[in-house]
Every structure is written in C-alpha cells, then in structure tokens.
Amino acid sequence: MKGRMVILDSNSILHRSFHALPPLTTKKGEPVSAVYGFSLVLFKTIKENQPDFIAACFDFPAPTFRHREFKEYKATRPPTPKDLIPQIPKVKEILKALSIPVFEKEGFEADDLIATIVKRAENEVSEIFVLTGDLDTLQLVDDKVKVLFLVRKMKEPLVYTEKEVIAKFGVLPKQIPDFKALVGDQSDNIPGVLGIGPKTAVEILRHYGNLENLYSKIEKEKKLKEKIRKDLIMNKEKVFLSKNLAKLKDEVEIDFDLKKCSFGNFDKKALKEVLEKFEFYSLLKRIPEITFKETKKLF
C-alpha cells in the first residue's frame, strides 16, 4: 500500500487558531475564529501535501487514565476559553462535510489516538504527517512519520524529522518519554526528578538507552554521580509514573479502517453549505485547491 496520510491533532490546532486570530463572529454573534483558523490550516495542508488519507483526532471532554493515575496531571493549565468550547462541534461539521472521519475515546487524549492510528497505518502507507501544535507527538517520529508543528501566529509549520527531534532534545524520538520522566514537563505538570536537568538526562539516556536499563544497573552503578544515583533510587516510583504519563498509548480500541480515511470524494455542495453557514466566504474560492483533479485509486 502506498500513499500519504495526514492526522489532525484537532484540539491542538483549534487552540492555536483561537489564540492566533482576532475574535471573529457570525452575524448571529456566534464565535468562529478558531473554526476559521482550523479550516485555513486544514485547506493549506491539503493543498500543499495532497494527502490520500486524513483522520481527525479529538480529546474527549472527560478525565483520562493519566488523571486517574496522577490527579495533578495538567493541573497547572488554564481552563479552556469559554468561547472556544462551542466551536468544537462546528469544526466537526467542517470535517463531516469533507468526509474526514473523527476519532475520540473516553479516558484517552487525542495524542493516544494519533499514536494508535500511526501504529495501525504505518505499514500501509508511505508517509504520515501529524499536524499539531503540541510537542508530545514528537515521540512518534521515525523514517515514515513527520510532525508538522504549528508555531505561534500561524506561520509556516516546522517540520520535525528524527534529525530535528535530536537537535531539539538531544535524544531519539522514542526516548522522549524517558527524557520527560527525568526532567519533568511543566506544561503537562509531569513531576520528573528534582535536580536532574536536560543535560544530565541526555547523558543518562545516551549511556543507558532507557530507564529500564538504567534501573537494572543502578544499585552497583559507578558511572553516575553518587547524588544523582541516590536521587534516582529514591524517586524510582515517581520516575516510572512520569514515564507512563509521558508515553503515548498506541493500542487504544478504536474503530479504525484506513479505507474510510480516504480523502477526495467529499460532497462539494455540502462543504459549500457549511462554509456559507459560518460565513467563511473567502474559503469558498479555495475549494478547488483541495479538490484533486483525479481521485487516486489505492485499493
């Protein structure tokens, strides 16, 4: 199987759009700035990458397994802006008009669904792009998977390959959960180990590879500074809790069928109607940009 797939981290794109654009409302006074920004990003991504498959993942509005394991998980994040909440179903209307399937699952985050779809689709497609404004999905990057990271003010997204991930963190993509388990992650309120910074974490992971290998040798390890060794032993439970919080789950039970993610055969009339409903008249002119002249037959 060949073809290119785009996976949307929908809540992340919505948040980026909401904070990047000035308030925008319909004539009825309904907020739609995030929906408009989301649509702009989506149209641009489709035009530039011409994906054969697209899937959209959403956070489910309920606590996840991470909150059950660590009640302070993401506790420092501000609540979702009240004007953003009613825009989520509007975005789903756009996606429905484009025949893009939506995935969400109680107890899990969108990132877990993205990881699951990547695992299930990676052997069937040639290339996968994850479109997001969240760095958590960088752990999925490999030879086939790239992350299109949305920067502030909706400028051109950064493309993360394995090379860029190593340049940013100093570790391989698959080592990011171990890295965060050691240094913590302030944005998600993942604790980490006090006193271990990025430089020390990189040195540890370059030598031991992962936390499991580190702790299998730590009792008699002479290469670690004694204070660091003692801190790691004392915080072992916290370290592995942090890794479990940081690592994306890639075996979530979802009804995924790659064929249903095929992009191109959407109802242009339905899309036109929903764009007019939200008064996105400028986007009507861009429908031809996301309409491929010839639908690719991959099955």
**Does 241 lie in the same domain as 274?**
no
Pairing of β 102-103 and β 127-132: unpaired
Residue that the structure tokens 């039970």 belong to: 253
**Does 228 lie in the same domain as 270?**
no
Q: Are 19 and 143 in contact (CB under 8 A)?
A: no
CATH number where 35 lies: 3.40.50.1010
**Does 199 lie in the same domain as 58?**
no
**Does 109 lie in the same domain as 144?**
yes
Neighbours of 93 (CB within 10 A): 17
**What residue type is assigned to position 169 of the chain?**
F
Residues 232-281: tens digit of each pLDDT = 999 999 999 999 999 999 999 999 999 999 999 999 999 999 999 999 99
**Neighbouring residues of 279: CB distance < 8 A, sequence distance ≥ 6:** 26, 27, 32
**Does 272 lie in the same domain as 128?**
yes
Instruction: Say if 299 falls within a structural domain.
Output: no
**Does 104 lie in the same domain as 22?**
yes
pLDDT at 115 over 80: yes
Residues 14-41: tens digit of each pLDDT = 999 999 999 999 999 999 999 999 999 9
CATH number where 199 lies: 1.10.150.20
**Does 158 lie in the same domain as 70?**
yes
Residues 254-266: tens digit of each pLDDT = 999 999 999 999 9
**Does 260 lie in the same domain as 230?**
no
> Domain limits at 221?
173-246
Domain count, the chain: 2
Instruction: Say if 297 falls within a structural domain.
Output: no
pLDDT at 295 over 80: no
Residue that the structure tokens 């994906």 belong to: 51
How high is the mean pLDDT of the chain? Answer: 93
**Does 98 lie in the same domain as 156?**
yes
Confidence of residue 75 (pLDDT cuts 50, 70, 90): confident
Q: What order do you get walking across the sheet with 102-103 strand by strand?
A: 102-103, 53-57, 4-9, 127-132, 145-149, 158-160
User: Comparing C-alpha atoms, which of 41, 56, 60 is closest to residue 5?
Assistant: 56
User: Comparing C-alpha atoms, which of 154, 137, 156 is closest to residue 146?
Assistant: 137
**Does 253 lie in the same domain as 224?**
no
Helix (H) or strand (E) holding 132: strand 127-132
Question: How far is Cα 267 from Cα 98, in angstroms, rounded to an integer?
Answer: 7
How confident is the model over 118-133, as a mean pLDDT? 96
Instruction: Say if 295 falls within a structural domain.
Output: no
pLDDT at 298 over 60: no
**Does 184 lie in the same domain as 86?**
no
